[in-house]
Amino acid sequence: MTGCCGCCTALKPRYKRLVDSIFPDNPEDGLVKDNMQKLVYYGTSKPEKLDRIGQYLEQRLSRDVTRSRTGYVSISMEALDQLLLACHAHSNLFVESFLKMVHKTLESPEPQLQILASQSFVKFANIEEDTPSYHRSYDFFVSKFSSMCHSSAEPETTRIRIRVAGLHGLQGIVKKTVSDDLQVNIWDPVHMNKIIPSLLYSLQGCNMDNDPESPKEDESPGVVAEMVLRDLVCRATFGNITSVLKPVLQHLDYHKLWVPNKFAVKIFRILMYSVQDQYGHMVVHHLMSHLDAHNKDEPRVKAGIVDVVSETVVIAAGGSVGPSVLEVFNTLLRHLKSSVSVQTSDRQRVLDEKNFQEAVINTIGEFANNLPDYQKIEIMMFVMGKVPLLDLEEDVSSGDRKDTLLQTMLLKTMLKVATKYRTVLMINAFPPAFLDPLLRMSLAYDAGIRLIVQEILHTLLDRHDNSGKLKFVSENSDTITWIPKDIQALNLTVEKASQQDIFFIKKNGPQFYSCIYENMLQENNKVDNFEALYCTLALLSIELGGEDILVDLVRLAMGIQNISVSSDLPVTHTCAIHAIVAAYLNLIGQLSAIPNMCTHVSEIIDARKNKAPHLLPDFAFNRSNTEQSYPTSTNVKDELLFDQAVINEALTSRGYDTSTLGTPFTISRLSQSRLGRMDSWFADMAHSTSDIHSITLSIDSSSSSQTPLMGQRGQAPEDITFESLKKIITEDDVERKRSQEMKQKAILEKFQTAPFEQIVAKIDAESMVFQNKLSEILTTISDENKDNAPQHQTTAVFDMQFPDLYVY
């Protein structure tokens, strides 16, 4: 019988005898290396036999897998790896046999065999094939490796090894397919919907951030999954990045991972740092689209998505150019407006909506922080265009509260963007399209809105971080920090204004002054509003207050002082206004270094400290005051007011032109109503009688005798406003246009109806008149030349002597 077996063995083909020789009698002895070298040499020398060798190995492996001979299966897989490494360039059929054996091994329920097959597939994936295979399919391997990533086998060590093997298998598929367009399209949603959730599932169970004793990279599913995800994303192009992002968003939705969103933030940070720079904005775009899809969800979910957007835009902002920037802001502002419009009595819902609104504002600020400065101004202009414009005279109680709240949120958004902007030139920070509507909003009825506008102005005006030093009350306590005499203790940074800034304030100064003046008259002002107005005044003086506008600033201060004397404001407002004037004149007096002015201001301040301390910031801006703390009368003695004549003399002595200082700074529109309508803003913005900054002629009866040009005493003042001039010019243009049209119509009718002979005769007559006039002029000129010409005898042409050069 033994002889018969030996005889049958001798009859086997050589490749089968070589394959059989690599298997030892005891599988624990491992592969017979000498015989393996013979098999490799035979395969390389006779590549036409490789497909048969593969088929025979496949038969043996299938039998061993069925019989659970794990040792022989390991030997077969090792032999396949060596043959594939040495002979892969010679036969595609052998590769097919190899994949069938890996397929068969992966179907085994034994974890060890699955891990072994996965390792063999990874080795195969690292081999670069010379010839592509058009019919090869990896559908089974994608499904099997993905299922291995979700393994729940016991014990834990085995489960971890299976998951890691599945992750390495997925990485092998990615390496094998993404670099070859002729291979299967791994970016197909069918494959990505299996690969991405498997990677996220492995990452979700990873606590490596919190556990310092986490396994090493080869043993931790979380680390391997992150490596595979980064490798996959970095290979994605513009056309297939969507195939990666959609499964990610779906996974986060299905498992409700937006609240809390720590895992979502981690995933998108991985995506943003792995994706190619030029495609980073696509991640933000898909997130914004996903936010739109969740528009009707709970605010906590939307806030979680917006927080993720905030983390991603910081990374993507540098690569986001063109319309993608405004697209992001437009979407965020739309959701902000939608949140503001929600009306509910549920306190928790109100709190969630507020948190969502804050998240949107912070996201816009973070995005703007990474944009160039010119785009930050464009963003503020874009947000300003979204602010609803309400009637400035309308009380909030009778108006639309939702619009007021929306205004507040949008202005907070602008303030957040403004904090990221670094002002260099005022003309760049305040383009007309941005400055005009911003100053309009500074006259809103709501005190909170006016305060936010002032804070925006502070942020853009303050180039040297002086605003914090100018506050009367420290941010951490209610202690008054105003130093009345010596401003050097404030350590203010003051630099000379550039010519561009001086030109800017000369052009736009009247708008600033008028807005500040009108803001002083608001009946619902609070201490914060008055403090903000003082800070705005001080910043204008520090940043733009050159010698050219000093007189205008003093004139504004005296006009503000007259408000508290002549108006019927509450006593708290009167005290605050007088305190602002005292602090402001003290500031600009020392900044301009005019001794006589500083002396006068110091004397008035000392007098107030002794007789009327409520007119100084120490009292007026003390938050702990009560109604009983204030005096009952708002009348202020003249000796406690700043004397305009003394200040005028002090300025004149230093060479300043004070011709406009005596003109009262008044706004006639405010004498008729507390605030004018916004649509008449440009009609009467600034007011003066002899300054180019204003065209309003308004004077009361008490001062009319000092200005003869203003008319007789008791006559009503004449207002020459922008609208009146515009009306006159418009009427003139209309009349001129109407007259021109009538003339053209008459000429047209004449040529259409008159006989031809009559038209010719008229044209000939006009031509004769022109010809006669021309002949008369030429005759007159000729006679004058004859009278002035010297008398001499005329020589005939033929008697003239010409040079030989001209004679032939």
**What CA–CA distance (Å, rounded) separates 439 from 512?**
8
Answer whether 186's CB lies under 8 Å from 174's CB: yes
Domain assignment present for 419: no
Q: Would residue 412 count as lying in a domain? A: no
Q: Which residues pair with 480 in a beta bridge?
A: 473
Name the band, by pLDDT with cuts 50, 70 and 90, for residue 678. very low
* Closest among 581, 417, 424, 422 to 504, alpha carbons compared: 424
223-256 pLDDT tens trace: 999 999 999 999 898 888 999 999 999 999 999 9
pLDDT, one tens digit per residue, over 259-292 is 999 999 999 999 999 998 888 888 988 999 999 9
pLDDT digits (tens, 9 = 90+) for 507-551: 998 899 999 999 998 989 999 999 999 999 999 999 987 677 889
pLDDT computed for residue 794 by the predictor: 52
CA–CA dist 522, 443 (Å, integer) = 9
Percent of the chain with pLDDT over 90: 31
Q: Write the burial class of residue 2 (CB in 10 Å: 0-12 exposed, 13-18 middle, 19+ buried).
A: exposed
Give me the domain span that covers residue 76: 11-131
Q: Give the tens place of pLDDT for each residue, 68-93.
A: 788 888 888 888 878 877 775 555 66
Q: Alpha-carbon distance 286 to 324, whole Å?
A: 12
The angle subtended at Cα 130 by Cα 124 and Cα 136, nearest 5°, is: 60
122 within a domain of the structure (yes/no): yes
This prediction has a pTM of: 0.70
Single-letter amino acid, residue 41? Y
> Out of 117-121, 451-455, 636-640, 787-791, which region has the weakest mean confidence (pLDDT)?
787-791
Could you write out the DSSP letters of every residue in 770-794?
HHHHHHHHHHHHHHHHHHHSPP-PP
Question: Does residue 455 form part of some domain?
Answer: no
Range 430-447 average pLDDT:
91
Last residue of a domain, one of 686, 709, 736: 686
pLDDT in tens, 353-388: 999 999 999 888 888 887 888 888 988 999 998 888
**Which of 214-223, 580-589, 698-707 has the highest average model confidence (pLDDT)?**
580-589
Whether 574 is covered by a domain: the verdict is yes
Dist CA 808 CA 796 (whole Å)? 20
Domain stop point among 84, 108, 131: 131
* Residues 419, 425, 431: CA angle, nearest 5 degrees: 80
pLDDT digits (tens, 9 = 90+) for 633-656: 778 888 999 999 999 999 999 888
Is the residue at 484 inside a domain?
yes
Report the SS3 class of residue 480. Answer: strand
Residue 684 pLDDT class (50, 70, 90 cuts): very low
Residue 330 has pLDDT above 50, yes or no: yes
User: CA gyration radius for the chain?
Assistant: 45
Q: At what angle do helices 14-21 and 50-66 cross, to 10 degrees?
A: 50
Within a domain: 68 = yes
**Residue 680 pLDDT exceeds 80:** no
669, 686, 703 - which closes a domain:
686
Assess whether pLDDT exceeds 50 at residue 170: yes
Q: Report the range of poorest mean pLDDT among 117-126, 150-159, 204-213, 694-703.
A: 694-703
What pLDDT was estimated at residue 713? 34
Q: How confident is the model at residue 487 (pLDDT cuts 50, 70, 90)?
A: confident
Q: Cβ–Cβ contacts within 10 Å for residue 278, how many?
A: 11
Helices (H), strands (E): how many in the chain? 32, 0
**Apex CA 462: angle with CA 385 and CA 405, to 5°?**
35
625 in any annotated domain: yes
Domains of the chain: total:
2
